[in-house]
Amino acid sequence: MTKPSKDNYYHYNSHLQPYAKKLRKRMTKSEACLWKFALRARKMRGFQFRRQRPVLGYIADFMCKELLLIIEVDGGSHQNHEAQVRDMQRDSVLKNAGFTTLRFSSSEVLNQMDVVVSEIA
């Protein structure tokens, strides 16, 4: 399979699209804040981000196709060991496909938005 790039859609998984649509309607508070204040409408250095985007076998919280960048906002359910192992496996698969993943906790997004934005930029 060809690696994903800003010029193709090899990474897009159309089978996950209905579930991603549901997730877009039910964003967490921290996801909604990051979207509204930092990523929506090309606010991040003019790059287009998409929310709850099907990527390979996963749904990324936010994805920038031009940068092959995925941003994940992790809530409390990501603090247990099993979830952390799944996250590491997911990040590895995405990295092998050419993506970079940035992870932030919900509390970081809600309480330190300026720090999160500077790390993304």
CATH of domain 14-120: 3.40.960.10
Question: What pLDDT does 14 receive?
Answer: 83
Question: What pLDDT does 12 receive?
Answer: 77
- Where do the domains of the chain lie? 14-120
Q: What is the pLDDT along the chain (121 residues), one digit of tens a residue?
A: 456 666 666 677 888 888 888 888 999 999 999 999 999 999 989 999 999 999 988 999 999 999 999 999 988 665 777 888 998 999 999 999 999 999 999 999 999 999 999 999 8
- Reference 104, options 35, 58, 45, 56; nearest CA is 35
| Cα gap 4→13, rounded to integer Å | 12
Q: Residue 25 corresponds to which tokens in the numbers above?
A: 């309607």
| Cα gap 20→22, rounded to integer Å | 5
H helical segments located in the chain: 17-25, 29-34, 81-96, 106-111, 113-120
Question: What pLDDT does 84 receive?
Answer: 85
